Amino acid sequence: MNYKPPLELVSGNANNNITASVIWLHGLGADGYDFEPIVNKLNLSHVRFILPHAPEMAITRNSGYIMPAWYDLYGAPNSKTGSGVEDEAGIKNSQHYINGLIQNEINRGIPTERVVIAGFSQGGAIALYTALRYSQKLGGILALSTYLPIKSKLSTEKNIANQTIPILMAHGVFDDVISLDMCKISLQTLHDNHYTVSWHEYNMAHSVCNEEIDDIRSFLKRVLP
């Protein structure tokens, strides 16, 4: 896969004492610049934000159209189970790449417990998949308008190092891309696997709202003080 260098953002003075990192993954068809305005609104001067760009690939569900994506999508998921045929190989490729970005932050002196993995939509799916399997304790997960992929394997593949990781899940009541019901199936899977999740619903579609940004800021201040 061909990955462009990620966008890096620091609020305020570039000489700030950076003590934490947030790796934030965009959704299908977007790029790392998609969440730059929101990062600027968060105004967390001690945090380095890493906004990677997904590689371009043909998306089966979109008639083979080539676009930035963290993995391929096939048919629509089953509305009752929240699952369908999934691109497990593609998901694992993205997991490997994100693991490398975490290692980059470790090499820069950031402890793993001061690294948060965040993502929106397809990026949020990778954030959940990667962080719950990571072998060292991470700071938290931001799962925005998303779902848990490969749910059936979580119980055997999760890593005890992140069994108590703080998780914020946020979803729009009117989301017609990833339905609220599908997200709640993922929430139940997390509960069944004994994860504690801070759950938030908003009167929005497949997007981000100001109330959500405030909740994200509060979450990051709590897990990355």
CATH of the domain at 107: 3.40.50.1820
Residue of 121, 145, 179, 186 with catalytic role:
121
Active site residue 218: no
pLDDT of residue 28: 96
Residue of 34, 72, 87, 175 with catalytic role:
175
- Alpha-carbon distance 188 to 174, whole Å? 20
In a domain, 111, yes or no: yes
Classified as helix, coil or strand, 222 is: helix
In a domain, 1, yes or no: no
Provide the residue-wise pLDDT of the chain in tens; the chain has 225 residues: 789 999 999 876 655 689 999 999 999 999 999 999 999 999 899 999 999 999 999 999 888 999 999 999 987 655 455 557 899 999 999 999 999 999 999 999 999 999 999 999 999 999 999 999 999 999 999 999 999 999 999 999 999 999 999 999 999 999 999 999 999 999 999 999 999 999 999 999 999 999 999 999 999 999 999
pLDDT of residue 12: 63
pLDDT of residue 84: 73
Residue-number span of the structural domain to which 183 is assigned = 7-223
pTM: 0.95
In a domain, 90, yes or no: yes
Question: What's the structural domain count of the chain?
Answer: 1
In a domain, 2, yes or no: no
Q: Are 19 and 48 a contacting pair, CB within 8 Å?
A: no
Cα of first residue to Cα of last residue in the chain, in angstroms, is 35
- Alpha-carbon distance 163 to 202, whole Å? 27
Active site residue 121: yes
Active site residue 87: no
In a domain, 48, yes or no: yes
Residue of 26, 53, 171, 206 with catalytic role:
206
In a domain, 183, yes or no: yes
In a domain, 73, yes or no: yes
Classified as helix, coil or strand, 148 is: coil
Q: Are 127 and 118 a contacting pair, CB within 8 Å?
A: yes
Structure token digits, residue 9:
């953002």
Q: Which phi and psi angles does 130 have, rounded to 5°?
A: -70, -50
Candidates 119, 109, 154, 158; CA nearest to 140 is 119
pLDDT of residue 79: 47
In a domain, 18, yes or no: yes
Structure token digits, residue 17:
């004492």
* Ordered alpha helix ranges (H), the chain: 36-42, 88-107, 122-133, 154-157, 180-192, 210-223
